[in-house]
Chain A
Amino acid sequence: MPRWTRWGLLALGLIVLGTAPSWIDDSYWIGVLILGYLYGVFASSWDFMSGQTGRENFGHAMFVGGGAYTAAFLNTKYGVSPWWSLPAGGGVAVVIGLVIGLPTLRLRGPYFALATLAGATILQRLTIILWEQTGGEEGISDLMPLVGSPVAFYYLALGFMLVVATILVLLARSPWGLLLRSIRGDEAAAQAAGVNTTLHKIGALLVSAFFAGMGGAFYAHYQLQVGPTLFSITVSITVVIMSYVGGIGSVYGALGGAFVLTLMTEQLRRVGEYRLLFYTLVLIAILFFLPRGLIAPLWRRLRNGGPAS
């Protein structure tokens, strides 16, 4: 199969998505696609850090929720325009990343994973305990939307996802990305070669946090509401599963994973309460049968379609 074909397929896909509002007249599905794009941002930002460096973050929700709540506070308590929420949300997420990452990324073993798990849970509990400021279980409502119409939101979300994805993929392809992947390969060897692995791990975490936080703020100004579920393990696990489906470490695979899984769970809405069950079954299946994922290997397959591969 000639090399350009897979790019052709990609371009076709983009055109289809780009014109979606014209041929989908059910705004519900537009909403689903928007959610898929936002999850694409969450998943690819996760994959950039955890997929590349091999240090798995089980609490990615803390960045998403952190960004979302920042947006909620700025907007409802101080009347700040939603557009400022995006970088602010990213900034707050970076701070959270520093607090969690600095002490734990220097350690080997499962400590980073456990700390991220604990971090997200702590933030979730805090939003409930400090209910007088955060609205508790019921959260904060009445945020202002970023833009007026669903169609405008659609293009904004699509654009947002494409920009973030491009930045992340470019970073992954850069020499820095190579360095990060060397940490996954063999951290001790990388350290022996003079790489300051701790510094780079933290750097990757902060990049990951920034985009996830921005995505969280975007989400807040779309749903117009934030609540403690944004910090839940469900969000963290969903992001991980999407990246696994996409192919850990590829970054772009996570986008595909997010897209596929979001659409799939919408189709399962009829059996809505089985959704999480389905997710976990998918994760288990992938861990056993497809540890390299689905999307990225497929993409590479298309490239290597020639007989001599």
Chain B
Amino acid sequence: MKLRNPSFARSGYYLLVLVLALASGEQATLADGKPIRIGIATALQLQVGRDTIDAAQLAIDEINAAGGVLGRKLEFVAADETEVPETGINAIKKLTTSDKVDVLVGGYTSGVTLAQLPHISAAKTLYLGIGAASPAITAKVKQDYENYKYIFRVNPLNSKWLATFLVDYLVNLVAKEQGFKKIAIVGESSKWVQDLVPVLKGGVRDSGVDVTLTELFDVNTSDFSPLFSKVRASGAQYLVVALSHASSDVFVKQWSDAQVPLPIGGIDVKSQDGDFFTRVGGKALSETTQIGFMRVPLSPVTVPFWDAFVKRFGRKPVYTAGGAYDAIKVYAASVTRAKTTQADAVIKELEKTDMPVTSGRLVFDENHDVKYGPGFVMPMMVQWQQNGERAVVWPKDKATGKFILPLWIKK
């Protein structure tokens, strides 16, 4: 074969090599059965994802140092589920079919988890959710037990409970104590907020608090001036926020720069980051946010975990860290009791869980969801103070500081 164009032939040769290389592919190395494999699906690019991985590593190292589970060591494989459902599905598929994990741990965006559920069910693999809050995730457990018994939520409390707690804060601290009886509710249009808002509104209305405006905006919004303007025009005195994926950084900066005459508070996940205050140049002063765990003794496990995490990784953990740590400990305990990693047996033991975790005392309800209430798991409201630290301002019996107003609002 006479080749007129040698460089072209070269590219053809490369192509052939390429195709052969691809065809040899990556046959999965089967787990040889010895270590127990944990698959972690989380948004690796974000703080919540990094903390998930690090906390999981911490838990695994502690368990392995104590001899492992049933004499077997624990190991984990991570997959990036991002905040996009499609990538999330691929992550689950990879973990269950290619990496053949024994249990899945993770989650952050509720929409992603919801999209993953059918695939998790098809793979008949246990899933311990540690970051997504929509009640819809665990709703299927009771409705379709046979297919969805694999789903558990270890963390956080679902949005319904988060809303219930927020109502308590708004009615008692914001309205009764501070005198702000008119509130506006704004949030991103994600699923967990959609689940939260009706409960919130219903709850406060019964106690004489007036909701003057409710608006959900799309997650990509970056200019909030029209929103602030509407809020002010509605006569509200306090601005309740529900933010997780949206740009809290920009929201808070714009709120502070324009000195909007309303204090803000609610659930702001990004504000739960230890470095949020410095990230926004201190403009988060006086913002209140709900938080699932902080360095307070919610249970005997909380402070030791917090300190160990800070010592090893040099930063403060966010809520998914506690969740990941707890999930692995809970799983290990259940497997130990079940004396096998076989899903059905472990499920039976998981359902009997009653143990201290970083956020309190974990017991699963009939939907395999975290039980809410005093003595079980309850969140707190924390507020950014002058020194860049957070103080717990609600509930009163756990308070570590005084509630403050934004600098430009005089009472």
Instruction: Show the binding face of A for B, using Cβ within 8 Å.
Output: 1, 16, 24, 26-29, 31, 128-129, 131, 135-139, 141-142, 223-225, 227, 229-230, 260, 263-264, 266-267, 269, 272-273, 290, 294-295, 297-298, 301, 305-307, 309
In addition to A29-B25, A227-B85, A260-B15, 7 A-B residue pairs with Cβ atoms within 8 Å of each other are A28-B98, A128-B219, A229-B84, A230-B86, A260-B22, A301-B12, A307-B2
Tell me if B22 and A267 are in contact (CB < 8 A): yes
* Bound CA span A266–B25, Å: 9
Query: Contact: A137 with B117, CB < 8 Å?
Result: no
- Chain B residues near A139 (CB-CB < 8 A): 85, 111, 115
B18, B86, B190 — which one has the most chain A CB atoms within 10 A of its CB? B86
Contact yes or no, A298 B15, CB < 8 A: yes
Stretch at the interface among B89-97, B228-236, B287-295: B89-97
- Minimum-distance CB pairs A-B, first 7: A138-B111, A28-B98, A28-B97, A225-B115, A263-B22, A141-B115, A131-B189
- When distances are taken between beta carbons in the complex, the residues of chain A under 8 Å from B111 are 135-139, 141, 227
**Chain B interface mostly:** helix
Query: At the interface, yes or no: B75 with Cβ under 8 Å from chain A?
Result: no
Known contacts A28-B97, A224-B118; is A138 also within 8 Å of B190 by CB?
Answer: yes
Closest-by-CB residue of A relative to B191 is A138
Task: Assess the A273–B45 pair: CB atoms within 8 A.
Answer: yes
Question: Does B387 lie at the interface of the complex (its beta carbon under 8 Å from any beta carbon of A)?
Answer: no
Chain B, residue nearest A139 (CB)? B85
Q: Within 8 Å CB of A266, what residues of B? A: 26
The contact sample of 18 A-B pairs, CB cut-off 8 A, is A26-B28, A26-B97, A28-B93, A128-B218, A131-B216, A137-B190, A138-B112, A142-B118, A225-B85, A227-B84, A227-B111, A260-B22, A263-B25, A294-B15, A298-B12, A301-B12, A305-B1, A309-B4
Q: B114's closest neighbor in chain A, by CB?
A: A141
Known: A128-B219, A139-B115, A307-B2. A31 touches B97 (CB 8 A): yes
Q: Which residues of B contact A131 (CB under 8 A)?
A: 189, 216, 218
Given contacts A29-B25, A137-B190, are A225 and B89 in contact (CB under 8 A)?
Answer: yes
Q: Is the CB of A297 within 8 A of B109?
A: no
The interface residues of chain A lying within 8 Å CB-to-CB of B21 are 267
Nearest B residue to A297 via CB reads: B8
Chain A residue nearest to B98 in the complex (CB): A28
Nearest residue (CB) in A for B111 is A138
**Complex CA distance for A225 and B89, rounded to whole angstroms:** 9
Whether the pair A224, B119 counts as a contact (CB closer than 8 A) is yes
Residues of chain A within 8 A (CB-CB) of B45 are 273
Residue B168, interface by CB 8 Å:
no
Q: Which of B58-98 contact A (CB under 8 A)?
A: 80, 83-86, 89, 93-94, 97-98
Residues of chain B lying within 8 A (CB to CB) of residue A142:
114, 117-118
For the complex, is B302 an interface residue (Cβ under 8 Å from A)? no
Q: Kindly supply a per-residue 1/0 record for chain B positions 324-339, scoring 1 wherever the CB is within 8 Å of any chain A CB and 0 otherwise.
A: 0000000000000000
Pick the contact of B80: A129, A223, A273, A307 (CB < 8 A).
Answer: A273
Cα distance A135–B85 in the bound complex, in angstroms: 11
Report the separation of the CA atoms of residues A295 and B12 in the bound assembly, to the nearest whole angstrom.
9
Contact A136 B98 (CB under 8 A): no
Q: A138–B19 Cα gap in the complex (Å)?
A: 36
Q: Is the CB of A269 within 8 A of B94?
A: yes
Distance A137 CA – B28 CA, assembled complex (angstroms): 33
The total number of A-B Cβ pairs within 8 Å is: 111
Q: Which of A129, A142, A224, A229 has the largest count of B CB atoms less than 10 A from its CB?
A: A224
Chain A residues whose C-beta falls within 8 Å of the C-beta of B219 in the assembled complex: 128, 136-137
How many Å from the CB of B214 to the closest CB on chain A?
13
Contacts of A290 in B (CB 8 A): 11
Q: From residue B120, how far is it (CB to closest CB) to chain A in Å?
A: 11
- Residues of chain A within 8 A (CB-CB) of B2 are 307, 309
Residues in B whose Cβ lies below 8 Å from that of A223:
86, 89
B278 at the interface (CB under 8 A from A): no
Residue contact A294 to B28, C-beta cutoff 8 Å? no
Question: By the criterion CB–CB under 8 Å, are B12 and A272 in contact?
Answer: no
- In the complex formed, the residue of A with least CB distance to B22 is A263
Which residue on B lies nearest to A26, using beta carbons? B28
A230 cross-chain contacts in B, Cβ below 8 A: 86
Query: Of all chain B residues, which has the CB nearest A16?
Result: B23
- A216–B6 Cα distance when bound, in Å, is 40
Q: List A contacts of B218 (CB < 8 A).
A: 128-129, 131, 136-137
Identify which of A136, A138, A301, A307 contacts B114 (C-beta below 8 A): A138
| Residues of chain A lying within 8 A (CB to CB) of residue B50 | none
In the complex, the chain B residue whose C-beta lies closest to that of A136 is: B189
The closest CB in chain A to the CB of B91 belongs to A272
Tell me which of B12, B85, B119 contacts A138 (CB under 8 A): B85
Q: How far is the CB of A50 from chain B (nearest CB, A)?
A: 23
> Within 8 Å CB of B245, what residues of A?
137
CB distance from B271 to the nearest CB of A (A): 20
A168 to B18, CA, bound (A): 27
| In the bound complex, CA of A263 to CA of B20 (Å) | 11
Mark each residue of chain B from 27 to 65: 1 if its CB lies under 8 Å from any CB of chain A, else 0.
110000000000000000100000000000000000000
Q: Report Cα–Cα, A1/B25, bound state, in Å.
A: 29
Q: How many Å lie between the Cα of A305 and that of B117 in the bound state? A: 53
Which residue on chain B has the smallest CB distance to residue A149? B122
B175–chain A nearest beta-carbon distance, Å: 30
Q: Are A27 and B97 in contact (CB under 8 A)?
A: yes
Q: Of A136, A227, A263, A272, which is within 8 A of B86 by CB?
A: A227
Q: Specify which of A128, A260, A272, A301 is in contact with B8 (CB 8 Å cutoff).
A: A301
Interface pair A294/B11, CB less than 8 Å apart:
yes
CB neighbours of A129 from chain B (8 A): 218
B85–A272 touching, CB < 8 Å: no
A272 to B78, CA, bound (A): 12
Complex Cα spacing A191 to B408, Å: 70
With a cutoff of 8 Å between Cβ atoms, the chain B residues found around residue A294 in the complex are 11, 15
Give 1 or 0 for each of B88-132: 1 = CB within 8 Å of chain A CB.
010001100110000000000111101101110000000000000
